Every structure is written in structure tokens, then in C-alpha cells.
């Protein structure tokens, strides 16, 4: 999932360099949403591992 966020961020950066403001804004927005979902799922997963008494995999 973090790969998707990075992909959309790169699309936003390339679009911004070439002057496509609408595409850049949309891609940056999507990247922010996907990154937020990733962080939320990561925190939930870490909490579940702590509750179950398992150590998170390295």
C-alpha cells in the first residue's frame, strides 16, 4: 500500500513539473489518503500484535 502512495506522489510531482495543476493536486490528494490509510492499518496491526502478545515481524 505504501508503494501506491509513493507512486501517486511521484505522479503528482511529475505533473507539477510539467504544469498540470489539476492532475498534480488530484494525485497528491490520493497519495495523502492512501498514506493515511496505510498509517492507520499499521497502527491497528501493531496494537493487535501487542494485545495478542506476539512480537511484530522484522
| Per-residue pLDDT reduced to its tens digit, 3-35 | 887 888 888 888 888 888 788 888 888 888 888
Q: Hey, where are the domains in the chain?
A: 2-52
Q: Are 24 and 9 in contact (CB under 8 A)?
A: no
Q: What is the pTM of this model?
A: 0.65
**Which DSSP string corresponds to 23-57?**
HHHHHHHHHHHHHHHHHHHHHHHHHHHHHHTPPPP
Amino acid at each position: 500500500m505504501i508503494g501506491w502512495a509513493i507512486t501517486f506522489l511521484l505522479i503528482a510531482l511529475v505533473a507539477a513539473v510539467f504544469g498540470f495543476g489539476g492532475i498534480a493536486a488530484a494525485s497528491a490528494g490520493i497519495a495523502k489518503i492512501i498514506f493515511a490509510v496505510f498509517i492507520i492499518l499499521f497502527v491497528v496491526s501493531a496494537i493487535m500484535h501487542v494485545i495478542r502478545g506476539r512480537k511484530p515481524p522484522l
